[in-house]
Amino acid sequence: MVRRRKRPLDEVSFQITPMIDMTFLLLIFFMVTQTITQQERNAPVKLPVALSAVAPERTERDVINIDGEGNYYIGDKMATKDEVLAHLRVKFEDFPPLQIYLRADKNTPTKKIREFVDMATEVGAIDLIFGVYGN
C-alpha cells in the first residue's frame, strides 16, 4: 500500500493593492469635485443675511451668481443675459427638471433678480433657491 502525502493548502492572502488603487481613485475624484464646487462660489458675491435661513436638502443644483452691479456669472465666469439663458436652456434639456441655486449679492438691483427669475421660469425651472447666510 502506497501512502500519498497530503499537500499543504496554499495560504489565502488578502490582496491590498487593488484596495489602495481604489482609495487613491476615490481621493482624486473627491479632490476634483471639491475644486469644481468651490469655483462655482468664487464669483465676487457678498450674500445677504437671513434670520430664517435653512440649508437645502439637495445640493446638486446649477449655480448662477449675480454680483452687486448686476453682472451674471456662470460658476466663476462672467456671462451676458443671453449666455445665461442659453446655459439654462441647455441644462434643462440635458438634466430636467432644472433646479437652480441663485447667489445674488446683497447690493444686486432687484430688477436683475426679477430678470433672472423670469429667465428661469421661461426655460422651465421648477425649483429656485436663493443663497443667503444664516444668522
What pLDDT score does 60 carry? 65
What pLDDT score does 41 carry? 60
Stretches where the chain sits below pLDDT 70 are 1-12, 33-43, 56, 58-60, 134-135
Nine cell digits for residue 135? 444668522
Cell 447667489 locates to 103
Strand spans (E) along 1-135:
49-50, 62-66, 72-74, 77-79, 99-104, 127-130, 133-134
Nine cell digits for residue 53? 435661513
Longest dimension (CA), the chain: 101
Task: Tell me the pTM.
Answer: 0.62
Domains of the chain: 36-134 (3.30.420.270)
pLDDT digits (tens, 9 = 90+) for 85-103: 999 888 888 777 778 888 8
Side-chain half-sphere exposure of 124, counting CA atoms within 13 A: 12
Q: Is 16 exposed, middle or buried (0-12, 13-18, 19+ CB in 10 A)?
A: exposed
What pLDDT score does 80 carry? 92
Side-chain half-sphere exposure of 87, counting CA atoms within 13 A: 18
